[in-house]
A and B are shown apart, each in its own frame.
Chain A
Amino acid sequence: MTRRPGNGKGDEVSKNLRKQVETGILHVVRGMGIMAALLGAMVLTGCGDGKNSAEKFAEQGILIIGNNAEPQSLDPHKATAVADGKIISTLLEGLVRPDAQEEGRVHPGMAERWEHNADASEWTFYLREAAWSDGKPVRAQDFVYAYKRLLHPEFAGRYAEMLYPLKGAEAYNKGQASWEAVGVHAADERTLRLTLNGPTPHLLQLVLHFTWYPLPEHHVEACGGMLDRSSRWTQLGHWVGNGAYVYSGHRFNDFLSVSPNPRYWRAGEVRNRGIRFLPIVNGYTETRMYIGGKLHITNNVPPEMLARACAVVPQHFCQDPYYCTIFYRLNTARPPLNDVRVRRALSLAIDRDTLVNKVVRGAGKATGVFTPPGAGYAAEPPSFMRGGSQAEREALARHLLAEAGYAGGKNFPVLELMTTSRDVQRVMAETIQAMWKDVLGIHVEIRSCEWTAYKSAQQSMQYDISSSSWSGDYLDSSTFVELWRSGGGNNCTGWGNTECDAAIQAARVSGHAAERNAHLRRAESIMLEAQPVIPLYTSERTYLKHPGISGWYPLMLDNHPLDAVQLPTPVQP
């Protein structure tokens, strides 16, 4: 060991320390420098001329809208998510179009006019002269082709039951009958005849849904044929549609853009010059981005941000009724959830009022039934939920669980509660997890999944309990009740009951509204008694919208025709 003269200990220490501090500071300064540079870059790109991106896009007439998630597919026969449907309905147009202002009112779309027989079981649609975005005419055969594709037993479309009102559609879909027996027929290129199972006065509401849209037969055939599930016809650069917009850009997890379709039959009436859909799952991020001027309309304000949103941007805050129920699916194929007592106990142990008041914070109403109010009939909670205080329900829950052989939660297996990574769902899951622990003494584990993984796990029934939501596809109770047909594509619980199926079938063919509702109500009460799902609350839509935007009105089904939305120019900050 050598020691240099004059290099005292104190010197060394101070030197060391100084060096240490210097390098430390250097690190910090460097870090701050990088951050400052990044911030600077953001500021420069975001608002180089003192304008935020919402204003800049508004000047170009492009609407930026939060769309919750990256779409699973733009193929209307493969999509099931709300986010996908919103994009598809700008790209394709069905027989009729929705009204921007009034729920349930329709305008002529691809069909110029229509007529039906006395009991509304046979309809004839006369198509207008319209073209696909590649210039080919839209023909009645394109509708027939689309319906055949969705119903084809080998195509296995999840949403095939949307077409079941068509005569013979269900039998064909299940491989029990031939296509010729299905009640859809193109009399000529411009005349489409639909024969239905029974009187369907609300058919025009049904055909608003994207499953009833036509497909460009020539193009789908050229891209791999009818049954090719991985067909590239919906991909960027290959897209052909008949809607107000064409698919024009996509950056994964950033945006999906559509621009006006010059061949659209009312191209002159489209009120904006394009739309950008942002797949922002996190409502906090979305709200923050809105306040930061990156969006014109958001998808959802999380409950905890409501107060802040109201304080910061009061004129921008909207709360609309929504035809939607939040519920938990139970996988009834797996023990112990195959025991109805366990399912009822789980349902009873949840204090829905507390959940809604404290966690959802007024953006919904506690419910014990599945169909939300707003159309059809008023549903009744199942027998075991009626009356009584929450404490009594909890006592009943413990009793039922004990009856099932798990007194005090003993020996109860650890179930997995699957949620999406969405904020409200996660907080809700943790609350319910704690409620089940307190009331029943059982432990569930929370698995939070990314949206597409969540969807595929749910559809392949790789879950125990799944945090779900269902929003109506049309304004009628049947859109909620028909979900629970045994083996239905969006049932995903493994539950089925022949009596329930029979009631749904009876509702389909019955002509009178009252009779129809009675059948549906019976189907729902059978389902609720068995409790393959735990209804929690009917939600309301809370979102932010720029006050200068016109052509957007509160709609219960949330299917706003986006071509009617007009941006103010210039936008006030």
Chain B
Amino acid sequence: MTPTKAYSQGNSLWQDAMRRLRNNRAAVASLVFLLLVALACFLLPLCPFIANPNSTNLDNIAGPCCWEHPFGTDQLGRDLLARVLYGGRISLLVGAVATGVSLLVGLVYGLLSGYVGGRTDAFMMRTVDVLFALPFIVLVIVFSLSIEEPVKELTAWLVETTGWSRESVAPILGLVPLFIAIGALGWLTLARIVRTQTLEIKAQEYVMAARSLGLGHMRILFRHIAPNLLGTVVVYTTLAVPGIMLTESTLSFIGLGVKAPNSSWGTLIKEGADRMEVSPELLLFPSLFFCLTLLALNFLGDGLRDAIDPKSAKD
């Protein structure tokens, strides 16, 4: 096809990708849904009509849905809607922050390993192999236990110096071991993917051209190689978030994640599952939110993969 004037401008890969993504209704709907959930979790609790998620009322245990408590109340008479929203904050935060940490580490590690090559590459990849061989959950447990004490000191210090109330700091800071642990150990797969891609891109003509023009290593790495990896990385990330949220619920389930009375979706589901015959809505609402969020993330990930991978979307 001969290029006409209309096309001479040319669309960048990203513009194409965005267009393809916009055309994918499932992915767009998922994106909108995710944004809505995130907004609800982070902004709704600021409204006065949402109850305190930790204030108990033993006279209204497992109460039914009503205006005051749209989702009813839990086994200690706490408002379930508020608990689901606050739980969502923690679950989403863990998903986002832990993924961010592992993204950063994995990207840099993989880039360096692939770009430098040779013995350094072999050494770095063998290290990854060794870490891969260790059971993930066990490592996360050991790791989060070992940095529990410093985090406690940090909380105390923060409360003292800033004068913030304990209740506002503790739930978030209490998760720091989890963030670091999951992030620090979740980068392995990503590092491998990035390294392979780097090896491939390194051999491309434009990188050789850049090198022959005398560009520095940093510039080549971050100007020419990293942007070309981004597609793969973005896709991998969206697909990794659900996994990390699941890990959080696993850890909360065994008592290492969020501490009572705070909740995450994982702990809410666990508590609800115990009581499912007696009061099913305790299981229903949190799991509905959790499942839909995970589903949306998966759809979005699939959509991004189709949109960004030029080969798969050409037909």
Contact = CB atoms under 8 A, between A and B. Distances in A.
Contacts of A13: 23, 25
A187 to B, nearest CB: 54
Contact of A358 (B61, B255, B278): B61
Contact of A434 (B24, B56, B259): B56
A45 interface: no
Contacts of A354: 58
A429 B260 contact: yes
A429 B271 CA distance: 14
Contacts, number: 88
Contacts of A434: 54-56, 76, 261
Interface string B12-33: 0000100010011111000000
B10 A446 contact: no
Interface residues on A, range: 35 or more
B16 A304 contact: no
A445 B56 contact: no
Contacts of A358: 58-59, 61
- Residue with the greatest number of chain B CB neighbours at <10 A, chosen from A23, A434, A446, A448: A434
A32 interface: no
B25 A284 contact: no
B260 A448 contact: yes
B255 A20 contact: no
Contacts of B27: 20
Contact of B10 (A1, A9, A282, A308): A1
Interface in B64-101: 75-76
Contact of A431 (B16, B26, B76): B76
Interface string A421-442: 1010011011101100000000
Nearest to B30: A20
Interface stretch (B225-233, B235-243, B298-306): B298-306
B1 interface: yes
A227 to B, nearest CB: 32
Contact of B1 (A2, A284, A359, A433): A2
Interface in A517-532: none
B309 interface: no
A16 interface: yes
B261 to A, nearest CB: 5
B16 A1 contact: yes
A17 interface: yes
Given A1-B16, A9-B23, A448-B260, A307 B255 contact: no
Contact of A20 (B11, B24, B56): B24
B254 interface: yes
Interface string A356-381: 00110000000000000000000000
16 contacts: A12-B23, A13-B25, A16-B20, A16-B23, A20-B302, A24-B26, A284-B275, A288-B277, A358-B58, A414-B166, A430-B260, A430-B261, A431-B58, A434-B56, A443-B166, A443-B170
Interface of A: 1-3, 9, 12-13, 16-17, 19-21, 23-24, 27, 282, 284-285, 288, 302, 304-305, 307-308, 354, 358-359, 414, 421, 423, 426-427, 429-431, 433-434, 443, 445-450
Given A16-B24, A414-B166, A434-B76, 19 more contacts: A3-B1, A12-B23, A13-B25, A16-B20, A16-B306, A20-B27, A304-B62, A304-B278, A354-B58, A358-B58, A358-B61, A427-B76, A430-B260, A431-B58, A433-B260, A433-B261, A445-B170, A449-B255, A450-B255
- For the complex of A and B, the 6 pairs showing the least CB-CB separation, nearest first, are A358-B58, A284-B274, A448-B255, A20-B26, A446-B260, A434-B56
